Amino acid sequence: MNFTGKTAVVTGGSRGIGKAVCLELARGGANVVLCYAGNAASAAETVAECEALGAKALAVQCNVANAEEVKALMDTAISTFGAVHILVNNAGITRDGLLMTMKDADFDAVVDTNLKGAFYCMRAVARPMMRQRYGRIVNLSSVVGLRGNAGQINYAASKAGVIGMTKSMAKELATRGVTVNAVAPGFIETDMTAAMTDAAKTATLASIPMGRLGAAEDVARAVAFLASDEAAYVTGQVLAVDGGMAM
Ligand code: NAP
């Protein structure tokens, strides 16, 4: 896919799925602005790998749960590259626990990062994207947002919320050349899933028709399609990338 002349902001681009998205967009020629929470060394590696692919890239430390930091991130992207054409809301965390023992702080942290973070980012780019009559927004939801998961009520609520927000934004922005879609990955091999016990991995594998965990690149290619010109007539959709889990 060709992203020449386009600038993409990818939240959580220092590791995992976000990093794979940065590289996929860079491979297509996009300028990439990635943000990260605290892992500067990994963010610098993503920048170097994007540059090795011939793209321009910039890493910005930004907590997506902070509206002012998000505004500064988008201002930096626009002042550096002139515009933001693509936004990928990928930054996300888990703080798992069963309902009866879940702490308020763990519920709030997950919703603040995964749901409010995506809201802050979309709000910050909506006006410039509407003015330029072009935008591609891709939000990372999850199979857990579609089906629920014991021990993840905070995460499931945030990822189901992302789907509602995606569809509402798609309706608000449809006449302005801005599409808003979501990708719902299944179980993807990243740091986020590395902590799973072997028993949990075996049980998860049994629920995946394709019989394997996904790779970050599997998700990145779906994100890149939704971020491309080729997806101009696709909006408000949730694309599951999960080896058949959520059928
Ligand atoms: P990951 O490997 O844990 O990476 C998380 C990324 O988000 C890192 O770049 C991290 O930055 C960044 N981040 C975390 N909190 C942030 C904050 N407050 N502000 C800015 N950046 C922040 O995660 P992943 O597995 O690649 O997941 C990426 C997205 O896909 C998430 O939204 C996740 O919910 C979703 N997803 C993942 C799976 C899966 O199986 N892995 C399945 C479904 C959905 P630092 O490096 O600085 O910490």
**What is the pLDDT at residue 198?**
87
**Nearest alpha carbon to residue 25 among 223, 174, 165, 191:** 223
Question: For ligand 1, what atom is nearest to the CA of residue 16?
Answer: 26
Per-block mean pLDDT, blocks of 10 residues, the chain (247 long): 98 98 98 98 98 98 98 98 98 97 98 99 98 98 97 98 98 98 97 87 92 97 98 98 96
**What is the pLDDT at residue 93?**
98
The rounded Å distance from CA 135 to ligand 1 centre is 23
Please state, in angstroms and rounded to a whole number, the distance separating the CA atoms of residues 78 and 7.
9
Domain ranges (residues) in the chain: 7-240
The rounded Å distance from CA 233 to ligand 1 centre is 28
Using CA positions, which residue lies closest to atom 39 of ligand 1?
Answer: 188
242, two tokens? 């999960």
**What is the pLDDT at residue 197?**
85
Using CA positions, which residue lies closest to atom 44 of ligand 1?
Answer: 142
CA distances from 200 to 102, 112, 237, 245 (A): 20, 27, 30, 15
- 239: Cβ contacts below 8 Å, ≥ 6 apart: 181, 182, 183, 184, 222, 226
The rounded Å distance from CA 109 to ligand 1 centre is 13
Please state, in angstroms and rounded to a whole number, the distance separating the CA atoms of residues 213 and 204.
9
Active-site amino acid positions: 155
Q: Tell the CATH superfamily of the 7-240 domain.
A: NAD(P)-binding Rossmann-like Domain (3.40.50.720)
